[in-house]
Amino acid sequence: MSESPKKLYIKTYGCQMNVYDSEKMADILGPHRYELTDDPTSSDMVILNTCHIREKATEKVYSEIGRYQSLKKERTAEGRQFILAVAGCVGQAEGGEIIKRAPYVDIVLGPQAYHKLPEMIERATRAFHINQMDKKKGKEYRKDKIVYADFPVESKFDHIPAVSDNPRVSAFLTIQEGCDKFCTFCCVPYTRGAEYSRPVGDIVAEAKRYVALGAKEITLLGQNVNAYHGISQSGQGVWGLGPLCLELSNIEGLERLRYMTSHPKDMDDALIQAHGDSPKLMPFLHLPVQSGSDAILKLMNRKHTVAFYEEVIQKLRHVRPDIGFSSDFIVGFPGETEKDFEDTLSLVERVQYGQAYCFSYSRRPGTPAAGIETQVDEEIKKERLQRLQTLIHAQQESFNQSFLGKSIPVLFERQGKRADQYLGKSPHMQSVHILSNGDNIMGQVHEIKVIEAFDNSLKGELQ
């Protein structure tokens, strides 16, 4: 076998947790002599880290898998191994089905199994060599496929290298996985499994390592991040997200803290108060409500009412008056009437979001809502989606306009196309671009004055 490092290409779909997982998969494979590349055609292994949340997302994965069929054929003809792995939520949901549909896939693994990758690669490599030898002897090509879509007993977090040495100004840190909420439209409880919280000590240690590597901002991740309930550092008792945020706020050098995605029902008073007590907790919260109709929220099994949601928003605004919000909305959930939809529009009018993501309801096999008979017509869904998006768009624009002329602190994360252009984020998650005065401001927080506001970004100048 060649001693030179092998090339690994990872394509990530879906949510931030997949971004974090992709990084960890690269970390795990580093010691096995896999180096990341941006070019799939020259790679020795491709991992597609997939998302199952909507039908379109899943179909995208299948068309992407198809693109590697000819590469695989070419390589096999040359006697070289090329491994195609499907990881993530489609891997979990579809398991062996993927190999039935696309037999040239070698490995399928769910999001809880990525620490098993080296073992799976070893098996795939062994199978490849045996197949090659058999082929020379004129024997039929055997398929040896590896599928790992169980939920392993041990936690993947105990098996992954502690931290990537890849410096990041803004780092993701998964603190919680899985979901026990079972919203009737959602596949996540089935793809990510039951809720699990990492111990406080492990999170603090990982956060400190990111900061030592230069991170100024950490975003705590979880499918249901504010359901967090991890064992405390002393081993006595369990902490919620509020105390965890306060603890992490003590890390010197860390300037900004965020968390996502939260469920309204789990916004407890300690977490709300943390927004008042820690200036490091940024004043922008993604708090998905999905619908503004109590009847639909009930059918969705969201476990809260519209009034409860607005009360949470009000409490947050009380402790942190400058806080802004974003949300996810689903339009055309089975049974949604025009009146239900108008209730969603009214809620949006009352809250005034800084940003929001609107989705047309997509039937996910195996979820309770997929079986409801009163599915909404596609045309109606499309029309409602457009109306909601128009409203959200207008709010986003006026939210950004309200910053015009103001001075805001921006964390600069990237250099733009021009060498003197820098891109960063405001406390309210707005993308900000500026032209620097020649100094390198990467990784720093600077006060800037907003000189132009667009629907998706702000233009500023250094103060």
Angle at 53 between CA 52 and CA 55, to 5 degrees: 75
For the record, the structure tokens of 122 come out as 């070893």
**Selected binder of ligand SF4 within 146, 175, 188, 271 (CB under 6 A):** 188
182: partner contacted, choices ligand SF4, ligand F3S, ligand SAH, none (Cβ within 5-8 A by kind): ligand SF4
241: partner contacted, choices ligand F3S, ligand SAH, ligand SF4, none (Cβ within 5-8 A by kind): none
Q: Does residue number 18 form part of the binding site for ligand F3S (CB under 6 A)? A: yes
**Hey, which residues between 52 and 81 contact ligand F3S (CB under 6 A)?**
52-53
Q: Taking the complex as a whole, how short is the minimal distance between the CB of residue 177 and ligand SF4, in angstroms?
A: 11
Q: Does residue number 215 form part of the binding site for ligand SF4 (CB under 6 A)? A: no
Q: Does residue number 241 form part of the binding site for ligand SF4 (CB under 6 A)? A: no
Q: Determine the Cα–Cα distance for residues 99 and 426; give it in Å rounded to an integer.
A: 44
**Selected binder of ligand F3S within 8, 10, 15, 287 (CB under 6 A):** 15
Name the burial class of residue 247, with classes exposed (0-12), middle (13-18) and buried (19+) by CB atoms within 10 angstroms of its CB.
middle
Q: Does residue number 181 form part of the binding site for ligand SF4 (CB under 6 A)? A: yes
Contact 356, 310 (CB under 8 A): no
54: partner contacted, choices ligand F3S, ligand SF4, ligand SAH, none (Cβ within 5-8 A by kind): ligand SAH
169: partner contacted, choices ligand SF4, ligand F3S, ligand SAH, none (Cβ within 5-8 A by kind): none
Q: Does residue number 221 form part of the binding site for ligand SF4 (CB under 6 A)? A: no
Cβ within 8 Å of residue 416, ≥6 positions away: 422, 423, 433
Minimum CB distance to ligand SAH smaller for 197 or for 362:
362
Q: Does residue number 291 form part of the binding site for ligand F3S (CB under 6 A)? A: no
Q: Determine the Cα–Cα distance for residues 54 and 186; give it in Å rounded to an integer.
A: 9
Contact 337, 380 (CB under 8 A): no
What SS3 class is residue 163? coil
| Half-sphere exposure of residue 108: CA atoms within 13 angstroms, side-chain side | 25
Q: Taking the complex as a whole, how short is the minimal distance between the CB of residue 449 and ligand F3S, in angstroms?
A: 37
**Selected binder of ligand SF4 within 81, 191, 219, 223 (CB under 6 A):** 223
Span from 131-139, 185-193, 350-358, 417-425 in contact with ligand SF4 (CB under 6 A): 185-193
Phi, psi of 388 (to 5 degrees): -65, -45
Residue 130: CB atoms within 10 Å: 13
**Residue 31 Cα distances to 118, 158, 161, 212, 320, angstroms:** 10, 17, 10, 22, 45
362: partner contacted, choices ligand SAH, ligand F3S, ligand SF4, none (Cβ within 5-8 A by kind): ligand SAH
17: partner contacted, choices ligand SAH, ligand F3S, ligand SF4, none (Cβ within 5-8 A by kind): ligand F3S
For the record, the structure tokens of 107 come out as 């490995």
Q: Does residue number 189 form part of the binding site for ligand SF4 (CB under 6 A)? A: yes
**Contact residues: ligand SAH, CB under 6 A:** 53-54, 185-186, 188, 223-224, 261, 263, 288, 290, 328, 330, 359, 361-362, 364
Q: Determine the Cα–Cα distance for residues 269 and 266; give it in Å rounded to an integer.
A: 9
Contact 450, 458 (CB under 8 A): yes
Minimum CB distance to ligand SAH smaller for 54 or for 216:
54
**Selected binder of ligand F3S within 6, 8, 10, 14 (CB under 6 A):** 14
**Residue 38 Cα distances to 42, 46, 106, angstroms:** 9, 11, 21
Q: Does residue number 89 form part of the binding site for ligand SF4 (CB under 6 A)? A: no
Secondary structure, 3-state, 78-120: CCCCCEEEEEHHHHHHHCCHHHHHCCCCCEEECCCCHHHHHHH
Contact 139, 189 (CB under 8 A): no
Minimum CB distance to ligand F3S smaller for 15 or for 254:
15
Positions that interact with ligand F3S (CB under 6 A): 14-15, 17-18, 51-53, 88-89, 187-188, 191-192, 223
Residues at the site binding ligand SF4, with contacts judged by CB under 6 A: 179, 181-183, 186, 188-189, 223-224, 263
